[in-house]
Amino acid sequence: MLIARTRSELRAALISLGGAPAFVPTMGALHAGHLALVHAARADGPVVASVFVNPTQFAADEDLDRYPRDEAGDLAALGAAGCAVTLLPTVAEIYPPDDATVVTVSGPARGFEGAIRPGHFQGVATVVARLFGLVRPRTAWFGEKDWQQLQVVRRMTADLCLGVEIRALPTVRDADGLALSSRNRYLSASERALAAELPRRVAAAAAAIQAGTAPAAAIAAATADLARAGFAVDYLALVHAETLCPAETLCPAETLCPAATLCPAESGGVARRLLVAARLGPVRLLDNFPV
Ligand code: PAF
């Protein structure tokens, strides 16, 4: 596996691949979810992965400084997974001092994480656009765990005509159902044991809605249930899977969704997602289920 730390090293490595690669962007501290993306991406051609803890997607009071970093472990795992090139850039390689451009996405970036973490999706969209520009991939792979991020990246890639096909893989979970996340390691043993209640109860709410329970009732019951169990729920919401507009409201006039977007729920081709974010001790757990 080739390792590129600078733009020129990356250019040389890409030439040696001889064609547009499949790309797996990460922030490192890799787990089985990331490696599943690398394995799946190999079907598209040689795989380039990036390991870059992107400062612009962290707010000042967030965990940028203590975000888990394990360069040696990540490189070993990526090599074993069959990655052809790993990009390990410095902050200055991605954000040179004369830097003057950011990417701001509206639409799916507006609510939920976008409202709770102002600036977060601008940081994500900006770094993903730059990484796409540097790597010039044919396809790029993301996990469904960060469902809103996936929709933001899809929207940005389409709107800026970046010509990258965005592919996604279902969330990879531990045996007890907890979605894998690099931040799970911040949980104490007792918090980790309780954390699996989140996907269990949210999946049950999704199943109840699917079976005909009114969404508002299922969501209120699950929110109260999670609070009793010890979670501080930031949101539990049923949304249109792509636009992230509230699924129970009319589209587009009331939600200000793009008027050209046919509301999937109204058109009968229902694509809805139950999104949750809840705090447990020092960690915000994010998850989502199809309905
Ligand atoms: O999901 C992540 O790990 C990051 O948000 C990403 C997409 C690599 C951008 O920094």
pLDDT digits (tens, 9 = 90+) for 97-150: 999 999 999 999 999 999 999 999 999 999 999 999 999 999 999 999 999 999
Find the catalytic residue in 31, 34, 120, 240: 34
Question: What is the reported pLDDT for 56?
Answer: 98
Asked whether the bond before 68 is cis by omega within 30 degrees of 0, the reply is no
| Tokens, residue 62 | 């967030």
Ligand 1 binding pocket (C-beta < 6 A) is 25-27, 54, 57, 124, 127-128, 146, 149
31 included as an active-site residue: no
**Helices 120-135 and 7-17 sit at what angle, rounded to 10 degrees?**
50
Model confidence pLDDT, tens digit, residues 209-228:
999 999 999 999 999 999 99
The residues, any chain, with a CB within 8 Å of residue 290's CB and separated by 6 or more, are 206, 241, 271, 272, 273, 274
Residue nearest to atom 8 of ligand 1 (CA): 26
**Whole-angstrom distance, CA of residue 291 vs CA of residue 273:** 6
Question: What is the reported pLDDT for 260?
Answer: 42
**Whole-angstrom distance, CA of residue 91 vs CA of residue 97:** 10
At 141, give phi and psi (nearest 5°). Answer: -115, 135
Atom index in ligand 1 nearest the CA of residue 50 equals 8
Ligand 1, pocket-test mutation among 124, 144, 180, 181, most atoms within 8 A of CB: 124
Give the neighbor-by-neighbor strand order of the sheet with 283-290. 232-240, 272-280, 283-290
Question: pTM (2 decimals)?
Answer: 0.94
**Whole-angstrom distance, CA of residue 248 vs CA of residue 280:** 28
